[in-house]
Amino acid sequence: MKEIDYVELFAGKIREDNSLFQQQKALIEAQIKGSSSLFRNMFNKNFKAQAREYLKGIDLL
Amino acid sequence: MVKGYSINDDTIIINRQLTSLDFFVKDFLDILKKHTDYLIVSGFVSIATGRTRGTEDVDLLFPIIPKENFGILFEDLKMNKFWCYQGDSIEEIYPYIKNLQNIRFARAQEVFPNMELIPIDKNRKTKYFEFTHPQKIKIQDFELKIPPIEFEILYKELILGGKKDLSDAKHLRTFFSGYIKEEKFKEYKPIILLER
């Protein structure tokens, strides 16, 4: 099954059954928690200055 | 079995619990709305309606406002523990706004998610159209404004066109299959094509 087919299948199922939102919530919570932990550890001296250097490196600044 | 969404007057109700991403956007909007108008666009529209994918930024259109007003908004955001990627003072930030360049805010001590603020004026015709034709959606007690669903779908298909965007559009077309109207696609298409 192609990814786009999976997207369509899941959208159809979640339209009919809102309990599937729980799966989506779990993914979002895991991503935010992981990102928070990673960057707090990476930039533990001067957060904003270190974060801006990192953001320049990935062309977000 | 409860459906994924329902309609109440002119508002789309998404039948789900709030996530940490929703709280981030809600907290930011609670401050921003005191100072200016807004429209949430792009990836968060799909995610808010059930698309299961990660995201790092939440895109928000807002009209250019005078430096003095923007300065008050900026101080309010800082006071409420948001930081701006582009700088810590209004003197650093306002030139971006004036030149219609995007700026980003995250919570203090966080990098992602971030709110990407996209300044607009009447000359950005496509963006100005969606900004002035908002659709209300509500998740629990969190109400926000997004573009019309048909507009968002077509924008992703015709202008953005990346793999992620086409998947988002497919999600919206399927999730809202009982809601979207073909005549709206015809109405919005020429407006969206102005952006090409």
Per the prediction, chain B carries an average pLDDT of: 97
* Chain B closest-CA separation from residue A38 CA (Å): 10
Residue pLDDT, tens place only, B101-121: 999 999 999 999 999 999 999
Distinct helix (H) and strand (E) counts, chain A: 3, 0
Measure CB to CB from residue A18 to each of B3, B24, B174 and give the nearest one. Answer: B3
Q: In the A/B pair of chains, how many CB contacts fall below 8 A?
A: 114
Read off the pTM. Answer: 0.96
**Domain at B36, CATH number:** 3.30.460.40
Residue pLDDT, tens place only, A14-49: 999 999 999 999 999 999 999 999 999 999 889 999
pLDDT value for A1: 79
Beta strands B57-63; B114-120: pairing state: parallel
Chain B residues lying within 8 Å of A55, measured CB to CB: 85, 111
What stretches of chain B adopt beta strand conformation (E)?
5-8, 11-14, 39-41, 57-63, 82-84, 103-107, 114-120, 135-139, 142-146
**Contact state of A35 with B112 under an 8 Å Cβ cutoff:** yes
For tokens 């507009």, the residue is B151
Strand partners of residue B116? B59, B104
Enter the ipTM.
Answer: 0.94
| Alpha-carbon gap, residue B170 to A3, rounded angstroms | 11
> Which residue range forms the structural domain that includes residue B114?
5-193
| Alpha-carbon gap, residue B50 to B21, rounded angstroms | 13
Number of domains in chain B: 1
Q: Which residue of chain A has the CA closest to B110?
A: A36
Interface test with B, best of A2, A21, A54 (most B CBs within 10 A): A21
- The answer for B174, left when phi > 0, alpha when psi is -120 to 50, beta otherwise, is alpha
pLDDT value for A3: 86
Strand partners of residue B84? B105
**Contact state of A55 with B177 under an 8 Å Cβ cutoff:** no
* Chain A closest-CA separation from residue B152 CA (Å): 16
Nearest to B40 by CA among B103, B96, B93, B118: B118
Q: Which residue of chain A has the CA closest to B20?
A: A29
Residues of chain A with a CB closer than 8 angstroms to some CB in chain B: 3-4, 7-8, 10-12, 14-25, 27-29, 31-33, 35-36, 39-40, 43, 47-48, 51-52, 54-55, 60-61
Chain B residues lying within 8 Å of A33, measured CB to CB: 20
Close Cβ partners of B130 (under 8 Å, ≥ 6 residues apart): B39, B41, B61, B147, B148, B151, B152, B155
| Alpha-carbon gap, residue A4 to B157, rounded angstroms | 13
Q: Which residue of chain A has the CA closest to B112?
A: A35
pLDDT at A2 over 90: no
For tokens 């930030």, the residue is B93
**DSSP sequence for B44-92:** HHHHHTT-----SEEEEEEE---HHHHHHHHHHHHHTTEEETT-SSHHH
Residue pLDDT, tens place only, B33-87: 999 999 999 999 999 999 998 889 999 999 999 999 999 999 999 999 999 999 9
